Amino acid sequence: MIRRLFIANRGEIAVRVLRTAQRLGITTIAGVSAADRHSLVAKLADEVALIGPAPSSESYLNVGAVTAAAVAARADAVHPGYGFLSENASFAQALAAAGITFVGPSLESLAAMGDKLRARSVAMEAGLPVVPGGEAATREQARERAAITGYPLLIKAVAGGGGRGMKRVDDPAQLESQIDLAMAEALAAFGDSRIYVERFVARGRHVEVQVLGDGQRAIHLGSRDCSIQRRFQKLVEEAPAPGIPADRHAALLSAAVRLAEHLGYRGAGTVEFLVDAETFDFFFLEMNVRLQVEHPVTEAITGIDLVEQQLLVADGLPLGWRQDQIVLRGHAMEVRLNAEDWQQGFRPSPGQVKSAHWPAGPGVRVDSHLTGPGEVPPYYDSLAGKLIVYGVDRAAALARLVTALPTIELEGLATTRDLHRRIAADARFVAGGVDTRFFDGFLEQPARG
């Protein structure tokens, strides 16, 4: 039974995990770097463990340091949040060797989905359609793949995720230079330079399905649309995905459950698809075997605490829900408030926060580690918080978003607040169902209403 939970992460997700754990009566230990010793999660946790210096490579990404800290803290389990070591099989293996539960999937699922080429193969075994493409171990192989898939195409990192190591190539003249960039970026981010090539769908939507499994059976908790992205980084997410015909939406959900059950998946996971915005054909992209940044929109439309479900399954309990018990109600949207100057090329804007003001009220949720004076350190990603709004339908959710955004104030930081105000006012977003090209040229265009 999980009595002592070590939280191996930082920022808003560490606070979010802590709050559910404490509600369940679990003692929380915050594993923090030197830069986060005075963070909100350190103040709220029952205990604090220093895991290393500020750089993530010496702290949050250091398997040995985090494992040793969890052992020293007498933790029963470790929740990795998202990012950092959340999908690291070596970390899960090290915890298992120490007799500590990893709050996440099995080692087999981590291995199967952590390698994007193997994930494609497993998805095909489960009967899911995949985007045409394949591994490109050499430049010659890349040229051959490109000739088959045609242009434009995407180069992706085999071990990748979050847009790192991903490059779009529009014509053959760009191919080799983009291969070099993709391989270098993949090696730096994942320690693995392998790449693969796949067809680029000109008008594609990024739609994902939240799944829960206990190793024996799996269910879905609806879809999310994450198509508004900049350089493959998500900016806005909503649930459910709007404007998809009911039969195609049902097929999408069914495919995600089929993959999870094929894997014998345990815990919370997200199956990501590329959906053709014109035909609504869909293709498997990848499976993220962890909690997603955008999980709150699913919680809003289902009323289910995903962190609680992760902890219960990790404790060896079967799923407490049947598929026919899952009712999707209303609509939810999430925007990521990053400490970035979006009018200056999205330049990172770390620093001290003198004061923080977030909106509140019915249908409004904020996940942040900045609730007053605080800091966004320069060592990590720039996420300062997330605004989540809920309404009985999409129009009601959007109205709450438009009302809530102007009230956000993080004094001392440049943020993406006003960028989101502009997105929320754009007629294409208001209509719903935009594709991943939404942001192309967006900043060069006059504001649309």
Q: What is the pLDDT of residues 372-386, one digit of tens each?
A: 999 999 999 999 999
Question: What mean pLDDT is predicted for residues 68-84?
Answer: 98
- Residue 445 clears pLDDT 80, i.e. is over it: no
Identify whether 290 is a catalytic site residue.
yes
Tell me: pLDDT of 191 over 90. no
Binned at pLDDT 50, 70 and 90, residue 297 comes out as: very high
Contacts (Cβ under 8 Å, ≥6 apart) of 30: 7, 14, 18, 41, 42, 44, 45, 47, 48, 49
Q: Which residues of 260-292 are buried (b: 16+ CB within 10 A; e: fewer)?
A: bbbbbbbbbbbbbbbbbbeebebbbbbbbbbbb
| Bigger pLDDT: 288 vs 183 | 288
In the set 290, 400, 417, 422, the catalytic residue is 290
Q: Which amino acid is at 121?
A: S
Residue 138's pLDDT band (cuts 50, 70, 90)? confident
**What's the residue count for the chain?**
449
* Signed CA dihedral, 200, 240, 295, 418: sign only: positive
Q: Could you tell me which CATH number the domain at 204-444 has? A: 3.30.470.20
Which is it for strands 77-79 and 4-7: parallel, antiparallel or unpaired? Answer: parallel
Instruction: List the one residue out of 100, 108, 312, 114 whose CA is nearest residue 213.
Output: 312
Backbone angles phi, psi at 229, to 5 degrees: -135, 155
pLDDT average, residue stretch 52-62? 97
What residue segments make up the domains of the chain, in order of their start? 4-103, 132-199, 204-444
Whether residue 401 has pLDDT greater than 90: yes
Kindly state which CATH superfamily the domain 132-199 is placed in.
Answer: ATP-grasp fold, A domain (3.30.1490.20)
Q: What is the DSSP letter of 130?
A: B
Cβ–Cβ under 8 Å, residues 11 and 369? yes
- Class of domain 4-103 (CATH, top level): alpha beta
> What whole-number distance in Å separates Cα of residue 42 and Cα of residue 14?
9
Phi-psi region of 4 (alpha: psi -120 to 50; beta: other; left: phi over 0): beta
> Which amino acid makes up residue 12?
E
Span 430-444, average pLDDT: 92
Q: Using CB atoms within 10 A of its CB, is residue 341 exposed (0-12), middle (13-18) or buried (19+)? A: middle
62: Cβ contacts below 8 Å, ≥ 6 apart: 51, 52
Helix (H, G, I), strand (E, B) or coil at 251: helix
Would you state the structure tokens that stand for residue 274, as one six-digit string?
């590329």
